[in-house]
Every structure is written in C-alpha cells, then in structure tokens.
A and B are shown apart, each in its own frame.
Chain A
Amino acid sequence: MLSKRIIPCLDVRDGKLTKGIKFKGNVDIGDPVDMAEFYYREGADELVFYDITASHEARDIMLDVVRRVAERIFIPFSVGGGLRTVEDMRAVLLAGAEKVSVNSSAVTNPQIIAEGSRQFGAQCVVLGMDVLKVPKSEQIPSGYEMVIHGGRKHMGIDALWWAQEAERLGAGEICLNSIDADGTQQGYEMELTAMISSHVSIPVIASGGAGEPQHLADVLTGGKADAALIASMTHYGHFSVAEIKDYLSERGIRVRKYW
C-alpha cells in the first residue's frame, strides 16, 4: 500500500531559509541546502521549497540553491514561488527539481498548467492553492474562495471549481493551503481538505495549521489527504520527522519507516 507522505516546507528568501507566520515577520533560520540534507537524513518523504522573493536577481540565487540541493538529496522535491512562464518552470526542472508548483500565476493564467503539463508531464506540475473560508454564495458555492498575494487579494473564484478545473487542465497534484489555518498551529482545515480531495482524482497535499502529530493523523485520515506539509513544528525542533512517523504508524497510518 502507498504510504502517506510527510513533506517539510522550506520558505526561501534571497537564498536563505525563513518561516513566515501568517506570511508576516519572516526570520532567517538557516541555510536551505543544509536544512534539506538534514530532512533527507531524518526521513522526510519529499521536500517543498517556496521562493518568497520573486525579483529577477533572486531567481538565479534560487536556481543555485536548487542545483546544490539536487546534488545532496535523493528524494523528490518541488519548487514554487514566482514561476510565471513555462521557461521559468523549465529552468527549475533542469536545475534538478522533480516538480514545479504554480499558484497565483496559474489563477491569472490557467494555461500555464496545460502548457507545463504538456511539455514536462502532469507529474511535474503541482497546483498550489491559497484558500480562504467565506460565506457560501452563488459565486462561491463551496464556501471556499481562491486568494492570492498571501490572502490579500480575493479572486472571486470557487476553490472546488478551481481544483477540478486545474485537474482537467493537467495538474498532477494539488498542494492545498488554508490561509485561515496557516501559522496557527491549531490543525489543518479538515473540511476543506476532505472536500477537495474527494472531488479530484489527483493527490492532495494538506497545508497550513500543523502544530502537533495529532493534526497530521487527522488530516491523513478524516481529511482524506495523501500527504501533509509541515514547517514550524519541525523547523524549530519541537518534533522530528521520525517522531511524527512513529506517532502515525502507531495509529495504523502507513508511513515510510526505512530510509
């Protein structure tokens, strides 16, 4: 049986690691390449790098980070943040990433999903979704709306509709981030995750809100997620990936135990 994946997320700015709390007050906590190798050895199943700078100069710094990571870790990793064109995607994949993640750029230009999928294969294209809970309306029947710019801009697009549309366009996976839960460490947005996961046939990675191992157990069972993104709970040493996996395994959730 397929194991549930535990995926640490590393936010990178100007080539250094950060962790934002609700996307504000980022603080530097180290070198992303060292951190990637640390997580690789600790049993992470995959890594996500999110480049929160998008200036042109920072792009090259990030590509260098990707190249150095690819030389040192031998598990899949994806890179997202500021990828606006198929050429941007190609540069990241050639530097050694397994997957690219598109978020805001896909909302404003959905064809980037189709084009990326056609050129590199659907398995390379992850759709990142930032979602905010809103009152149900005719325009937003699911009660979850797509937002961009860290939640500052509402797009008037229903999250469930968008997930299905992205699958149709050729996305290979969805990384589903709840803006409401992000940074709270109070648990994943269960209702949102279960709803999206049961309405698409591609894997869904739950993101936002992880604070303790129980939160992962919840979202990987009742939340129907295929994988769980973590950040603060392991970045600051409160938990190790191995401890989280032991916890999940004891509760009958299949995880990769040998690495």
Chain B
Amino acid sequence: MIAIIDYDAGNLTSVERALRSLGADCAISRDPESIAQASRVILPGVGRAGAGMASLRRLGLDRVLADTVAQGKPFLGICFGTQIIFDYSEEDLTDCLGLMPGKVVRFPVDHRDQAGEPLKVPHMGWNGVDWKKSHPVFAGIPEEAEFYFVHSYYLQPASDEWVAGTTEYGFPFTSAVARGSLVAVQFHPEKSGRPGLKLLENFLAWDGKEGGDAL
C-alpha cells in the first residue's frame, strides 16, 4: 500500500486519482501507524510552510516521515511536499523536516529574465527539466517533456550532489532532487500529462535504491 500523506495541505485527491489510473493500491492517510506500515510514501501538497509544518507536528507525522526515510523506504515529495522536507523555508521563516539538507527561498520580487523582461511570480505553468542524474524514477522521460509548476519559492539544496534536475526561470533553479530512497520534485507529476504519469509509474516500480549517476 502507498500512503499519500494528508496534512491539510490541499488537493490530495489529484495524486490519488493519478495513482489509481496506474492501478496502484493507495490511500490518503494521516494515521502514523498505517503510514509506518506503507510500502512507499508520497508527501504531496499545496500550502504554506508555517501551517504545513504545524500540521505535520500536531499529527505526529514529522517523526514517521523521518523513520520512512531512515528505513530506506521509497519516498516521493511533490511541490510543497518537496519544499517542506528541506531544513528551512523562508516562507513564514519555518524550520522544516530536515530530511534534505538545504533551504527554500523566494523568487526575487522584481524577477526578470536575461533580456530584462519581467517574470511573473508565482512561476505557474509548463516548463522543462534539465536532468542532471540518471535515476530509475526519471527513466524513460524524453528531454523535451515539460511539467506543470506552481510555486513562488524554490529549492536550494546544500550540495549539488543531490540535484537531479534544474529548470530555467530567470536563472536555473533546482526542480528535482534525489538522495538515497528519497526523490522529490518541485512540479506536479499528477498534473503533467503523460510524462508526469510516467514518473509516478517509475516511482511505483522503484526499490528505493539510488541510481544517481551524473549525466
């Protein structure tokens, strides 16, 4: 069983529906015991760092998620669920789960592209990923595939070692990370059409062992 973590962070049903379309046995859960028994865990989410962390702590899920990663169980973070696994987020100045060394910072207020044209924040819509690592979860996804993003904050891992992909928005930012049994993406695979479903399908088949060779 795959546990989709419910911590009041919005729109969990779209992840569930996408997994069901792939024939996966999954359940939305906030129960620490059933999450501890799940074969793999997905931390999705749309929300704010402060409220999200408060919910995770109140539900006792911060420890369960740390155990999941420590046990080497396949773990997938999606969008806000990816931001919250880092050490710290500038959003609400929040100490986060600390499962991935690094922090989460906001796009500049007057964000511009290299030609000086203003860029909207949030970064909303379809964008490409420049893959930096070969990894079982990202296998078989064509170079030209794009994914659906919605976010105003972006990831800054403490080391390039864990950067699995970057995306260009004024500058290249980290849009996918991989470390051991943990994989996390800034975009929404459940809303990214065929390439997104491929990524989820890969995650369902992954044993949690890192591929991790630099491309």
| A residues lining the B interface (CB < 8 Å) | 1-5, 40, 45, 70-71, 74-76, 93-94, 96, 98, 120-124, 172-173, 198, 201-203, 226-227, 256-259
Contacts and interface: CB of A to CB of B under 8 A. Distances in A.
A70 B125 contact: no
B6 to A, nearest CB: 13
Contact of B127 (A3, A76, A173, A198): A3
A78 to B, nearest CB: 12
Nearest to A257: B144
Nearest to B150: A123
Contacts of A94: 13
Nearest to A118: B48
Given A1-B169, A226-B125, A256-B146, 14 more contacts: A3-B125, A5-B126, A40-B193, A71-B17, A71-B21, A74-B196, A74-B197, A76-B191, A121-B46, A172-B122, A226-B120, A256-B126, A258-B142, A258-B146
B168 A1 contact: yes
Contacts of A121: 10, 46-48
A45 B150 CA distance: 14
Contacts of A227: 125
Contacts, number: 94
Contacts of A258: 142, 144-146, 195
Contacts of B190: 74
A227 B148 CA distance: 14
Contacts of B124: 2, 123, 172-173, 203, 226
Contact of A203 (B11, B125, B169): B125
Nearest to B191: A76
Interface in B95-142: 113, 118-128, 142
A3 B21 contact: no
Given A96-B17, A258-B144, A2 B123 contact: yes
A41 B117 CA distance: 33
A74 B21 contact: yes
B126 A2 contact: yes
Interface in B40-94: 46-48
5 contacts: A96-B14, A121-B47, A121-B48, A124-B10, A226-B124
| Interface hub of B126, B128, B192, B196 (most chain A Cβ within 10 A) | B126
Contacts of B14: 70, 96, 98
Contact of A120 (B10, B113, B148): B10
A71 B190 CA distance: 11
A202 B118 CA distance: 11
A202 B122 contact: yes
A49 to B, nearest CB: 15
| Interface hub of B21, B128, B146 (most chain A Cβ within 10 A) | B146
A198 B194 CA distance: 33
B24 interface: no
B18 interface: yes
A150 to B, nearest CB: 28
| Interface hub of B113, B169, B193 (most chain A Cβ within 10 A) | B193
A45 B126 contact: yes
Contacts of B21: 71, 74
| Interface hub of B121, B150, B196 (most chain A Cβ within 10 A) | B150
Nearest to B194: A259
Contacts of A1: 113, 127-128, 168-169
A201 B121 contact: yes
Given A94-B13, A124-B10, A226-B120, A74 B126 contact: no
Interface string B136-167: 00000010111011100000000000000000
A202 to B, nearest CB: 6
A3 B192 contact: no
Contacts of A93: 10-11
A2 B125 contact: yes
| Interface hub of B21, B121, B122, B142 (most chain A Cβ within 10 A) | B122
